[in-house]
Chain A
Amino acid sequence: MSELHLAVALDGAGWHPAAWRDPSALPDALFSPVYWLSLVRLAERGRLDFVTIEDSLGLQSGRYDGLDGRADHVKGRLDALLIAARVAPVTTHIGLVPTVTVTHTEPFHVSTQLATLDYLSTGRAGWRAQVSGRAVEAAHFGRRTFPAFDLASHEEPAVQAHIAELFAEAADHIEVVRRLWDSWEDDAEIRDVATGRFVDRDKLHYIDFAGAQFSVKGPSITPRPPQGQPIVTALAHSRAGYDLGTDIVYVTPTSVANAAEIVTEVRSLGPAKVFADVVVFLDPERKARLDEVDGAPYTSDAHVYTGDAAGLAELLLSWRETGLDGFRLRPGVLPADLSAIVDDLLPLLRAEGAFRTDYTATTLRGHLGLPAAQNRYARTEVTA
């Protein structure tokens, strides 16, 4: 039986909006580097494939069409990519996958920032590409005005057209970032003293991308990163998000049957690996207490598992039968549920031969079993 791939999604004090109020939480530390480093080291101790770090270009809100005004939930974040960069030199194996928005950001900067993260981590960088459709975030940039919409107006034609445009821009953004990574061939730096040349400029390539929202000339300012292509991932709830040209798609099945349908659909579109997102509460009493202080039972776009580690192991192994490559677990409370994943869940999966006992690679591509990335611009070697 092949091994599962496992990631954890780090967000603030955990995914439950009242997580910060749990006695085990560290709400005073959420904006300190030590907090993030200890979470990532805990995940690395568990030999997980990677961590993702949530981010957004606006305040956290329970509403899609604006802010929620709630002072009893965590508000505020640090830039996820810089958190990953801060952690990279002092971790050794675990993949680091920050969320970076594609909608208002510059593909050139995003490409060089992720390439730099790959250098800092010597080949452990990834990217959770995220679309921002919220009108309040567009107003932070002042370039475009977005319609405010919510679940009720989601199906209206104007909203659907807006969403289609956002996903087209996301696909363009990812394409530009990938081209820029390839715009330097691996052996472009030659340091040839005889001719005085530092680089062989025939191995640097313009990318000449022209799209609806931006055009980018290239080449990158940053040499091709250690992995060639860092791992690109996205959370997706429908076909538009499954088809962005990512290496991993995080999906949100609600049942085994639903997982099977989604896996079939994603596989029909391309070679991406499919991870299912599951929110994890490994202490049902704690979950109940937090629901109570929050005034409502916790809900999520993803399946919410509440129970013991044995039950979770069983769920993961049975869902895996649908062809899922792995899971991204969203700990309900940090660090408590991450500790329980590492100390209680993983030994059970290892006993089934379903998860690695130690790292066998040092790069994220290596953990995922992906081959070296071909460079789209490198001339094919002609063999006799």
Chain B
Amino acid sequence: MTKFSGKPQKQVVLAAHFPGVNNTTVWSDPAAGSQIAFDSFRRFAQSAERGKFDFFFLAEGLRLREQRGRIHDLDVVGRPDALTVLAGLAAVTTHLGLTGTVNATFNEPYELARKLASLDHLSGGRAGWNVVTSSDAFTGENFRRGGYLDRADRYTRAAEVLHTARELWDTWPADEVTADRAAGVFTRTGDPGHFVHSGQHIDIQGHFTVPRSPQGRPLIIQAGDSDPGREFAARDADAIFSRHGTLESGRAFYADVKGRMARHGRHPDQLKILPASTFVLGTSTEEAVEKAHHIRRQQVSPQTAILLLEQLWNKDLSDHDPEGPLPVFDPVLDDDSIIKGRTRLFDDPLATARQWRDLASEKGLGIRDLIIEVTGRQTFIGTPSSVAATIDEFVQSDAADGFILVPHLVPGGLDEFVDGVVPLLQERGVFRTDYTTTTLRGHLGLDHV
């Protein structure tokens, strides 16, 4: 029984993010395994499936990050191609949804649609696509289209790529393949899959080669937080990864995005809102807090502290002592960011610098301790029972439909959540005790298209 007993209990959605190239992934711990060997992905995904998670998620990279014109070497560097790993995971899991990021700027819709539909077939209906866009010429240097995509065009291109992919997925009726030996008819029409798409960014025509996949269309995920990003999600996405991890901001975001859906003729249940979340578990609250601090120190090495500070100051600060005070001068306001290959982190560097200085002087913090304080705090810190209660509360009070969990370690980082928190969510009656469907859309209660 909860205080929300007037409403039927919502079921919690759980997804597992294989952690990648951010400093929150701890590689220096003795328990940290390979970030590239398939066995790490297998063990991580199998742990998620043991916990009856809805889906596994893997991000992608298209260019190694650089800072101050040199390849960034302090975090995990290097990763595999997402869809290829997902196809491999389809072989060693049976129910878990398999989702990944594929960039809509540096891939063409024909290939994207082909690969995602293929993955849906090869996984028996468990495929999902996190649609992202990028605009930077830096990443473009690795690709045919090269160059810069105007920021305003990012979402229009992403939306058009997605709509084109949908048109391609819809070209083969479910009963197109008859394989009727006696009649000598393999497909109902001689050349199935016909399409024509003529739009602002994409002008293609021909025939799609992949028969309709088990889900009809793979799951569509979106992660942007801007106004066009929210609108894109409300219109087109089945799930959204949000950054709103507090109850208050989570509820505001939830209400805003779900409130936009009716205008697009959609029901709020057709979009699952999943804040990205980290967790630290302990047998007592004190133990969890202590562990959380230890992990934060692992995540923010002295070198990383300087580097993160440079991202705000937009300047070489390598002569600063990580244990010493913040720079006395203000951040450099320059369009040419010293960091390449990831999005800008700060909207108003001067204001942020002011806040950081105030906090540092108030608490007497040096650079590293300040960075530990102001960046990447874990979302859930506590005992399994308190974390389960918090998750349940967030979901029942419409701050989220569930969470995408980002452990700090591979491959074992999910295990204690699966062993400790999942059974408590199951006891509360808000999480499945076994899979009741075999497809990702099925797990999320979304209709096949």
**Do these two chains interact?**
yes
**A residues at B contact (CB < 8 Å):** 20-21, 23, 27-28, 31-33, 37, 56-59, 67-79, 81-83, 85-90, 104-106, 108-109, 112-113, 115-117, 119-120, 122, 136-137, 139-143, 184, 189, 191, 193, 195-201, 204, 213-219, 221-223, 293
Q: Are A119 and B118 in touch, CB under 8 angstroms? A: no
Q: Which of A76, A104, A215 is the most central at the interface, judged by chain B CB atoms within 10 Å of its CB? A: A76
Min Cβ gap B308→A in Å is 12
Q: Are B202 and A142 in touch, CB under 8 angstroms? A: yes
With CB as the reference atom, state the residue of chain A lying closest to B90: A86
A33 to B107, CA, bound (A): 25
With CB as the reference atom, state the residue of chain B lying closest to A110: B81
Sorted nearest first, the 4 A-B pairs with minimum C-beta distance are A69-B190, A196-B303, A85-B87, A27-B179
Task: Say which one of B205-213, B250-258, B262-270, B357-365 lies at the interface with A.
Answer: B205-213
Task: Say which one of B34-42, B219-227, B410-418, B435-443 lies at the interface with A.
Answer: B34-42
B83 CB-CB contact with A under 8 Å: yes
Other-chain contact of A201, B70, B189, B303 (Cβ < 8 Å): B70
Q: List 24 A-B contacts (CB under 8 A).
A: A20-B186, A31-B177, A32-B121, A33-B124, A70-B190, A71-B187, A76-B187, A76-B193, A85-B88, A86-B87, A89-B42, A106-B106, A106-B107, A140-B205, A141-B108, A142-B203, A193-B28, A198-B74, A198-B76, A204-B64, A216-B141, A217-B141, A221-B60, A222-B81
Chain B residues with CB under 8 A of A71:
185-190
With CB as the reference atom, state the residue of chain A lying closest to B303: A196
Other-chain contact of B204, A33, A59, A77, A139 (Cβ < 8 Å): A139
With CB as the reference atom, state the residue of chain A lying closest to B143: A106
Q: Are B78 and A223 in touch, CB under 8 angstroms? A: yes
Other-chain contact of B122, A78, A90, A136, A223 (Cβ < 8 Å): A78
Q: Are A120 and B189 in touch, CB under 8 angstroms? A: no
Q: Are A115 and B80 in touch, CB under 8 angstroms? A: yes
With CB as the reference atom, state the residue of chain B lying closest to A105: B111
Chain A residues with CB under 8 A of B303:
195-197
Chain A residues with CB under 8 A of B77:
189, 198-199, 204
A382 to B81, CA, bound (A): 35
Chain A residues with CB under 8 A of B91:
33, 37, 86-90
A109 to B139, CA, bound (A): 13
The count of A-to-B residue pairs whose CB atoms sit within 8 angstroms is 225
Other-chain contact of B74, A31, A197, A217 (Cβ < 8 Å): A197
6 new A-B contacts, CB < 8 A, other than A140-B205, A198-B75, are A27-B181, A78-B210, A119-B36, A139-B205, A201-B70, A213-B144
Other-chain contact of A222, B27, B36, B42, B70 (Cβ < 8 Å): B36
Chain A residues with CB under 8 A of B204:
139-142
Chain A residues with CB under 8 A of B28:
191, 193
Q: Are A113 and B81 in touch, CB under 8 angstroms? A: yes
Chain A residues with CB under 8 A of B60:
221
A32 to B122, CA, bound (A): 6
Q: Are B38 and A72 in touch, CB under 8 angstroms? A: no
B62 CB-CB contact with A under 8 Å: yes
Interface size, chain B (Cβ < 8 Å): 75
Chain A residues with CB under 8 A of B187:
71, 75-76
Q: Are A109 and B211 in touch, CB under 8 angstroms? A: no
Q: Are A59 and B209 in touch, CB under 8 angstroms? A: yes
Min Cβ gap B341→A in Å is 10
Given contacts A122-B38, A199-B78, A293-B184, contact A75 B64 (CB under 8 A): no
Q: Are B62 and A196 in touch, CB under 8 angstroms? A: no
Given contacts A59-B209, A218-B142, contact A116 B71 (CB under 8 A): no
A272 to B71, CA, bound (A): 35
A278 to B93, CA, bound (A): 37
B149 CB-CB contact with A under 8 Å: no
Other-chain contact of B118, A82, A88, A196 (Cβ < 8 Å): A82
Q: Are A74 and B186 in touch, CB under 8 angstroms? A: yes
Q: Are A215 and B141 in touch, CB under 8 angstroms? A: yes
Given contacts A199-B73, A201-B73, A204-B64, contact A191 B27 (CB under 8 A): yes
Q: Are B191 and A214 in touch, CB under 8 angstroms? A: no
Q: Mark B54-93, 1 if CB is under 8 A from A, else 0.
A: 0000001111100000110111111111011101101110
A59 to B190, CA, bound (A): 10
Q: Are B143 and A108 in touch, CB under 8 angstroms? A: yes
Q: Are A116 and B74 in touch, CB under 8 angstroms? A: no
Q: Are A82 and B119 in touch, CB under 8 angstroms? A: yes
Q: Are B211 and A31 in touch, CB under 8 angstroms? A: yes
Q: Are A77 and B210 in touch, CB under 8 angstroms? A: yes
Chain A residues with CB under 8 A of B302:
196
Min Cβ gap A376→B in Å is 18
A196 to B298, CA, bound (A): 10
Q: Are B186 and A69 in touch, CB under 8 angstroms? A: no
A196 to B92, CA, bound (A): 34
